[in-house]
Each structure stands twice: as C-alpha cells, then as structure tokens.
Amino acid sequence: MRFTCIINSLALAKDAARPSSGSRPYAERAWLLRNVILPWYASLGVFDEVVVAGEFEEGLFHRYVPCAQVFHTVGDALLQRQLGFEATTGHPDDWVLFQHDDHLWAPENETLGVSVAADRVLSPSRWTRARRATGEALNDGHLVPHINGHALLMRRRIAALVPWTSVPPVFTWDVEYTAALARAGVAWRYAPEYAVWDLERGAEPWK
C-alpha cells in the first residue's frame, strides 16, 4: 500500500504577500516548506511520494506540479489538490494525505495499517504549540461535524469519486466537501489518533 502526500501551496505566487486566513503573508510558508515540512517528511520516510501543487518550486524532497491561481482566494486550494492528485498514480485502496502548506503530519502518528482497513476517509485532529509547548487542540471540524479541510486522509478511489473541484470555491469548502461525500454515500470518520500540527508563524489559529 502506497502513502502519498499532496501539499497545496501558493507560497511563491506573485501575490504571496497577501495575508492568509491566519493574517500572515502566504510567502512566509516558503521557508516553512523548504526548511521544515519537506525535509522532515523526507527524514521520516513515511510517504512514498510527496507532491507540492500550486505555485512553488522544484526541490530535493518533493515533486512540483505547477497550478496557477484562478480565484486568488482559498478556493485555489481545491484546484491545486485536484491537479496534484491527477499527477499521481496508484492502487484504488492506497492512502493520500491532502494538506495545506502550513501543517505537519505528526511524526508520532501510527502507520496506516490494519486498524484502518475498513475506513475510506479519515479526518485527523489538529493542534498548535503557538501558546504552549505541550500543545493545544484547534478547531478541526469534528464538533460541527465536517471534515478537517487543513489536512484530510482518503483512499485514492474516494478522491477519484469525489473530486475536490466538484465543490464551490468558497471559504467554507470544507463544509461543502463534507456534503459532497455524503451525496456520494461516502462515510468519513474523525480520527483523533492521527494528528496534524498548524505551524504558521505568528498566526492565532485558536481564534
């Protein structure tokens, strides 16, 4: 079973100086990708392939799939995830992690194996250490409930069945994608045993 990671990013876009939802310039995420996320993923050896889709650069630790912005909003993440997915191949039951460029798959996460054999979509818990070293839980959608748009695990066959671009490119596309899964008859599960960390410098993701 292969495990692919697809990271959507516009860290090197011409307008990357504009603020993210965390009120920080998107451009700051270029440093985060180059120096933290991508080399860390390479050292972990968890992923069979790491793809950065959007407006970034080639590098040692990933494959770059260019995807120019269309909306110049968070809706472009949908296009980037879709194009990144279409640039990869694998078995229908392989796992794919779709994530933003300011989040990190926790190194202590268990290997995806027998324990998730029946699952098709897993929504991980979301954390930050911005205010305390021991960590703080963030909104990850499970109380609403909706999928964690910052990072989501799914089988390849589900990503093919419910394309990211099948939902409106609105700020609440995580809610829209949850509804699209339901229309397709796809169950998803909140999976707090798998964590992702919000690493955006200077942001206040608890607000």
pLDDT of residue 115: 64
Q: How confident is the model at residue 160 (pLDDT cuts 50, 70, 90)?
A: very high
DSSP state of 181: H
pLDDT digits (tens, 9 = 90+) for 62-110: 999 999 999 999 999 999 999 999 999 999 999 999 999 999 999 999 8
What mean pLDDT, rounded, does the chain reach? 94
CA distances for 191 relative to 124, 152, 167, 175, angstroms = 5, 10, 23, 17
pLDDT digits (tens, 9 = 90+) for 2-16: 999 999 999 999 998
Q: How confident is the model at residue 164 (pLDDT cuts 50, 70, 90)?
A: very high
pLDDT of residue 111: 81
Tokens 């990503």 appear where? Answer: 159
CA distances for 43 relative to 37, 39, 40, 61, angstroms = 10, 6, 5, 9
More confident residue, 191 or 1: 191
Whole-angstrom distance, CA of residue 54 vs CA of residue 79: 8
CA distances for 61 relative to 16, 44, 52, 120, 192, angstroms = 22, 12, 10, 27, 28
More confident residue, 202 or 7: 7
pLDDT digits (tens, 9 = 90+) for 17-62: 987 877 788 999 999 999 999 999 999 999 999 999 999 999 999 9
pLDDT of residue 19: 79
Other CB atoms within 10 Å distance of the CB of residue 51? 22
pLDDT of residue 202: 84
Q: How confident is the model at residue 116 (pLDDT cuts 50, 70, 90)?
A: confident
Q: What is the DSSP string of 105-119?
A: E-TTPPPSSGGGTT-
Residue ranges of E strands in the chain: 3-9, 49-54, 63-66, 95-100, 103-105, 121-128, 136-137, 151-155, 189-198
3-state helix, strand, coil in the chain (%, to 5): 25, 25, 50
112 Cβ partners below 8 Å, 6+ apart? 1, 3, 95, 153
pLDDT of residue 193: 94
Task: Give the domains, in start order, of the chain with CATH numbers.
Answer: 3-198 (3.90.550.10)
The predicted model gives 179-194 an average pLDDT of: 96
pLDDT of residue 114: 57
Whole-angstrom distance, CA of residue 91 vs CA of residue 80: 21
pLDDT of residue 1: 86
Whole-angstrom distance, CA of residue 193 vs CA of residue 66: 33
